[in-house]
Amino acid sequence: MTTDCSSVAYFSMEIALDPALPTYSGGLGVLAGDMLRAAADLGVSMVGIALVQRKGYFDQHLDDLGNQSESPTAWEPEKVVEPMLPVVTVRIEGRDVRVRAWRFLIKGLGGHVVPVYLLDTALPENSPWEQKLTDSLYGGDAHYRLCQEMVLGLGGVAILPELGHSLISSYHMNEGHSALLTLGLLEERLEGRALSSATEEDIHAIRAKCVFTTHTPVPAGQDQFPHDLVSRVLGEERTAALEVTGACPAGSLNMTYLALFGSRYINGVAMQHGEVSRGMFPNYPIRAITNGVHAVTWMSPAFGDLFDRHIPEWRHDNLYLRYAIGIGTSEIREAHVQAKRRMVAELKQRTGVQLDEKVLTIGFARRAATYKRADLIFRNLDRLRWIATHCGPIQIVFGGKAHPSDVGGKDLIRRIFESAAALKDVIKVVYIENYDWRVAPLLYAGADLWLNTPQRPQEASGTSGMKAALNGVPSFSVMDGWWVEGCLEGITGWAIGHGPESPDDEVFEIAALYDKLEMIILPMFYGRPTAYAEVMRSAIAINGSFFNTQRMLSQYLANAYFRPAVA
């Protein structure tokens, strides 16, 4: 593989490549991996760029009270991925830092290969500190993070041609972490001339190549770096060039603004998130392409077998999942029973808790960030106890890591443990430690109901509910992110509270959650199992056939990659 036809280069701080590799932290990385897996299946010419993250994100440990501690989750690239020869340099804080790449190959169903390059600074020519730059995902302070973003954006642009990828038609920034690639492209175009000599035409030429997907609907979530740090690390000339882009409002370099400035196509990750983003950045033409998930990756073996029998084309063409609507409800239920049994067995093995296969099992697993409000279902324990005793038994499975410096997220986990202890005579609650790609699929397929209670409008998209839908697990969710589009009330699942047209109202949402559980969901689950199985089946046919990365990638192809520049 020395040359290629024109490709899309997909840059992401995290990419989930394999369940055993800790190169991601959550949804953003899983999305990146799913996108590239879809490209491999569809024969699209793409390459991925990320950092090697030798120490990964982290392993989560929880004590009996739910206190989280962390340990590094080191892996050895030497044993898993292939070293590439080229070495490029990135000038960081006045020193030349050497960067090389490891190659991971994603093979598609038809044999097409998408290479992913994991950048690495652990080379003997670099200082010990520089060698650690590609170690820890979202670790360290702002200084460390900015240096990592230089390696990703500038190193990635420099190394692609050396690796044989010299015809890149689009550079896609998956979130703002890779926004410095725009600067790298400008420097490449100027061939050593001063950045201050760049003309409007030069800027246009860079913009014509760049695509930006924003994922953050709250300003506080954006990557920002103080001016002194930026000028120290990037140098005076680059800092001056960044200042003229408008990416430094209030003196800080804001990576979202840089990416907005440097891109010809910009999108949010669900229709509603596009709307919210246009409100945040009114000066930019922001579109929306709703996220999806890689169906083959997230399908449980039981449902995979069922679809292979009825609609074997589903693997290479996910649209065929639409025809799940013709499969008998008894077969849907039987496949789900198998998936649930698998989850129950794994949970027993990991935690010692024996869940009951007959009991309605609610799943809630995602990063333990405060806005996701994992504890919303526990806001009125008396009411929840009453519901579980009078309308039918409930058990709940939780999972999720808090970022090591997120005090609020860690607190949230402790609160869940407290509520679990308070409920223990009535409702079994399991919190599974170290939630990651290895355990996640068991929960998405094994739960009976997938709960999602973010504070609106902070969930840009959310993807775990899409993975549940593929496996016939209906969502029960606040109307945010993808669910605004995916919710057909009583058909694909149930809404909690009002839609985006009304203001966020936590008290109302809590009441709506309990009301629907009590009056609609539990009576249907225990009293009308066939009706419940029809909801499961529609979740697959209506949502599984749409909220997948085949559809998503084809939308990026049609709207972002091969479309004339947007004025």
Q: Give the residues lining the site for ligand PLP (CB under 6 A).
A: 26-27, 30, 366-367, 436-437, 440, 462-464, 467
Contacts of 158 (CB under 8 A, 6+ apart): 88, 89, 90, 99, 184, 188
Judged by CB, which is closer to ligand PLP: 89, or 434? 434
Write down the residue that tokens 């000066």 correspond to. Answer: 283
In the complex, minimum distance from the CB of residue 57 to ligand PLP, in angstroms, rounded to a whole number:
10
Judged by CB, which is closer to ligand PLP: 155, or 481? 481
Judged by CB, which is closer to ligand PLP: 467, or 516? 467
Instruction: Return the structure tokens found at 131.
Output: 């060698």
Judged by CB, which is closer to ligand PLP: 133, or 470? 470
Q: How many helices (H) and strands (E) does the chain have?
A: 23, 20
Identify whether the C-beta of residue 561 lies closer than 8 Å to the C-beta of residue 170: yes
In the complex, minimum distance from the CB of residue 100 to ligand PLP, in angstroms, rounded to a whole number:
28
Omega before 161 within 30 of 0, i.e. cis: no
In the complex, minimum distance from the CB of residue 497 to ligand PLP, in angstroms, rounded to a whole number:
18
Q: Which residues pair with 99 in a beta bridge?
A: 88
In the complex, minimum distance from the CB of residue 391 to ligand PLP, in angstroms, rounded to a whole number:
27
Beta-carbon-side half-sphere exposure of residue 377 (alpha carbons within 13 Å): 30
The DSSP symbol for 566 reads P
Residue among 160, 144, 159 at smallest CA distance from 93: 144
Judged by CB, which is closer to ligand PLP: 221, or 226? 221
- The total of other beta-carbon atoms located within 10 Å of residue 481's CB is 29
Judged by CB, which is closer to ligand PLP: 56, or 155? 56
In the complex, minimum distance from the CB of residue 145 to ligand PLP, in angstroms, rounded to a whole number:
21
Q: How do 210-213 and 68-71 pair as beta strands?
A: unpaired
Judged by CB, which is closer to ligand PLP: 123, or 218? 218
The string of DSSP letters for 72-99 reads -----HHHHSEE----EEEEETTEEEEE
Judged by CB, which is closer to ligand PLP: 100, or 373? 373
Burial degree of 511 (CB within 10 A; 0-12, 13-18, 19+): middle
d(CA 107, CA 134): 25
In the complex, minimum distance from the CB of residue 389 to ligand PLP, in angstroms, rounded to a whole number:
30
In the complex, minimum distance from the CB of residue 459 to ligand PLP, in angstroms, rounded to a whole number:
7
In the complex, minimum distance from the CB of residue 463 to ligand PLP, in angstroms, rounded to a whole number:
4
Judged by CB, which is closer to ligand PLP: 255, or 365? 365
Question: What's the CA dihedral at 17, 22, 26, 30 to 10 degrees?
Answer: 0
Task: Quote the Cα angle for 497-498-499, to 5°.
Answer: 130
In the complex, minimum distance from the CB of residue 171 to ligand PLP, in angstroms, rounded to a whole number:
25
3-state secondary structure 170-189: EEEEECHHHCCHHHHHHHHH
Instruction: Return the structure tokens found at 277.
Output: 């983003």
In the complex, minimum distance from the CB of residue 270 to ligand PLP, in angstroms, rounded to a whole number:
11
Judged by CB, which is closer to ligand PLP: 27, or 66? 27
Judged by CB, which is closer to ligand PLP: 344, or 368? 368
Question: What's the CA dihedral at 468, 470, 472, 476 to 10 degrees?
Answer: 40
In the complex, minimum distance from the CB of residue 29 to ligand PLP, in angstroms, rounded to a whole number:
8
